[in-house]
Structure 1
C-alpha cells in the first residue's frame, strides 16, 4: 500500500512547478492579448470617430460655402427648427397655428442677417452656421428685385435696428389668428414689431407687397413662405 505521507520525488515536484509556471505564463499572455485587443479597438474607434467628425466638418463647410455663394442681399431666410429646440413663443406657433416656419431673417450680405430676438429686438447677427440644411432653412428670393431695390430693402431694414420686439403682440397674435382678427389682441407699443413684420416693411418700402390680400398686422413667417412674389432658392415646399 502506498504511503500517503511519502514525499514526492524531485521530478514530480519539478513537473508540478513547471505546469504551474506554464499556466501562469498562459494566463499572462491571454490577459496581455485581451488588453492589446481592447486598446486596438479603442484606438480604432477614436480614429473612426475623428474621421467621421472631420468628414462632417469638411462637407458641412463646403455645403455652407456653396449656399453662401448663392445668397443675395435681400434674400429671406425662414427657419424651421426641431420642435424640441423651440422657444415657448415659437412652440405656440408650431403647435397651435401648425406653423412649419417660426422665424424669418433678411440677408444683408457678407454673411450677415438682420432679424429679431426676444432680448435685443431688431438686431444684426451672423448667418446661421448650418444654413445649408435644407430641412431647417428655406431661402426665398423676389426675382423682380434689381440691385437698386435690393439695396433699398437692406437699407430700410437697417432703419429698424435696435427697435424693441413687440412681445405682447407676438404672443397675442396666436389667438388673433385663430379667431380671424385683423390685429393682435394686445399691443402696448405701436412702433414695435417682430421678424416677419420687419421683412414685410422693408420690402414694402421698395414697392413690393409680399403678401397681397393678407392682414399685415398679424403676418407670420408662414405667410412669407406662401408669398406669390417669392421663389425658392433652397428648401422644400
Structure 2
C-alpha cells in the first residue's frame, strides 16, 4: 500500500506486514498514515486483519527522531493513540503475529489487536519513561486489562520486559509457536474465525469491548442475530449433522 507496509488482500482477510526492517519497523508518520488507510479499507469492506512485522521484528517502537520533535499540540492530537483505537475498533477481529521485539509503540499496537501469537523470541516492553514520556497510546490501560494491573505496573513503572513465556503465562499472548510456523498458525486462527458468522463476530466484539456490565447490549445483539437467515441456516445444518 505504500513505503512502510506490505498489504495483501484476500476475500476474507487482509494481511499487513510492517516493513521498515532497517529501522526495526519503527512506527513513523508514514506508517501511521498507511495504517489509517488500512483501517479505511477494513471499515468500508469488513474483513479479518493479520498484522505482523518483517525481518524478525514486530515493531521496535515509535520513530524517536520524529517523537523528539513533537510538542504539546502533537500530544493533544493523539497521533498514535487515535490510530491504535481505530485498529481496536475495527468491525472484525485482528490477530497480531509477533516475532522479536514489540516495544514502546510497537507493543501498544500489539495490545490494540484482539489476539496475539508470539514466537519464543518475542519481547514486549514499554521503556517510554526512560525517554522522558509515558506510554500514552493505550498501554497504561490496555496492558492492565490484558495482563492485570500488577504486571502493567512492572512493565510501565519498573521497566520490566516480558519474554514469550511470561507473556503466555500472563495471558498477553494466546500461544507460542516456532518462527517458521508463525504465519501459518495465525492463518489457522483466522480460518476458524472466517468459518463463523461475520455478523455474530462483529456483534460479539462490540459487546466484549463495551465498557462496564452490559446485559442489555447482550440482549440487543442477540436479538439482531436471532432474526438472521445465517443463524437459521447454520443451526439447521448443525441439527441435520446430528441426525446423520
Q: TM-score, normalised by structure 2?
A: 0.24
Larger Rg: 1
With structure 1 as the length reference, what TM-score do the two structures score?
Answer: 0.24
